[in-house]
Amino acid sequence: MYKFVTKEIKAGIDINAQHQAVLKYFPYGENVRFRVEEDRTIILCPILPKIDIKCSMQVIPEYKIGDHLSFCTKLNAIRRNSHRQKNEVVPLTKIGELIPWFKAIAESNGFEIAQFEKVIPLGKVMCCHKEKPFPINSVEFIGKLVVKDPVKFNRAVSHGIGRSKAFGYGVIDVKE
């Protein structure tokens, strides 16, 4: 799996335009994950881009049990509400809900949160899939983690975590 970092795809354009811009360079459908930040876009893909794009590229390393890493990710923070209508999702907006929710996601993806540096609720973002609009409850998590299960963690880093991955959510950017 490769990690590409580029300034070609800009933040500020709507999320559907970001999605289309990424697919212009990497038209591989569900095998591409991306995260748009203020000054760069991170793209994860198993193969090289179809057309020229100015970017840096690295092969994602295999992480080991006990590795301590800094992380940053943006997720669609929702949970299914089994007490209400079928398929109804409830956005999580309070820090007291978000931290345990993310810790559970971390555990199921082979890592443990050592420290939260920031939990930033970014609010609702409207997306569109097959001409049907839907909301994403955008939350950014920044902190330090420890790898507990390398197989699960390496998959999470290369494939993303959570819902709405096609719209730039779920990419875990990690650094040693």
Render 40-57 in DSSP notation, one character per residue: -EEEEESS--SS---EEE
CA distance 132 to 172: 27
Rg from Cα positions in the chain = 16
Question: What was the pLDDT predicted at 106?
Answer: 97
pLDDT at 55: 86
Domain positions in the chain: 2-59, 68-175
Can you list the residues of the chain whose pLDDT is less than 70? 28-30, 51, 82-87
Q: In the CATH scheme, what is the homologous superfamily, with its name and number, of domain 68-175?
A: Crispr-associated protein; domain 2 (3.30.70.1210)
For residue 31, what pLDDT is reported? Answer: 78
* Residue-level pLDDT at 100: 97
Model pLDDT, residue 79: 86
Q: From CA 13, how far away is CA 118, in angstroms rounded?
A: 24
Q: Which residue has the tokens 């999605």?
A: 19
